[in-house]
Structure 1
């Protein structure tokens, strides 16, 4: 195994399969963990998540995600909204209370 082989997490995140996770029946969510880390500098997971279409609420964990495909919005308790579309990078904070409205099945790459 080469150093590059050890560092490659996914050759094509768009083609990676995901499995239903049952976290939200309203959005038919699915995910795939791509990597897990437990190091002094970083402890967390990297994975893919899909959902929708539909609407559901959640209480978030610390997460950074990049929308790969799909469309919708995430609305926070303070009324602010982020429009989700491919290329949008979002930082969620632990405890954020959100409403997800997915109009086109959404796929995101997350680090959390």
Structure 2
């Protein structure tokens, strides 16, 4: 038997820590969908704005929206629906969300 995971359902968001916000008033949040073999699968969403982050080990697929992620080493990644990205624990990133970004993650 299988269970359908609803990735379209609302994700509760709240304002980001002001110490991480560089522009705008972005909000973010996540909702766990399942635990599989010790890893979490969930949906994450961030509204437009710019914020910094320190990443965890994660693979994600963008479902909707657009953003630019800049890594500490200067690498820049443009995100849109269908983008698949691997993040490594401890990486410092800057997220510029142009249109509310929704992703499904495995972490």
Please classify the TM superposition score into its range, dividing by the shorter chain length. Answer: 0.7 to 0.9
**Higher CA-based Rg:** 1
Confirm or deny: 8 A CA contact 1:62 1:94 kept in the other structure. yes
Work out whether 1:20 is the aligned partner of 2:13.
Answer: yes
TM-score by length of 1: 0.82
Cα deviation for residue 101 of structure 1 reads 0.3
Tell me which residue corresponds to 1:45: 40
TM-score by length of 2: 0.85
Cα deviation for residue 33 of structure 1 reads 0.6
Moved over 3 A (4+): 21-26
Instruction: Answer 1 or 2: which has greater helix percent.
Output: 1
Tell me which residue corresponds to 1:36: 35
RMSD: 1.6
Tell me which residue corresponds to 2:77: 82
Structure 1: 5+ residue stretches without partners: none
Structure 2: 5+ residue stretches without partners: 19-24
Instruction: Answer 1 or 2: which has greater strand percent.
Output: 2
For residues 9 and 93 of structure 1, what CA distance do their matches in structure 2 show?
28
For residues 84 and 98 of structure 1, what CA distance do their matches in structure 2 show?
14
Corresponding residue pairs, total = 101
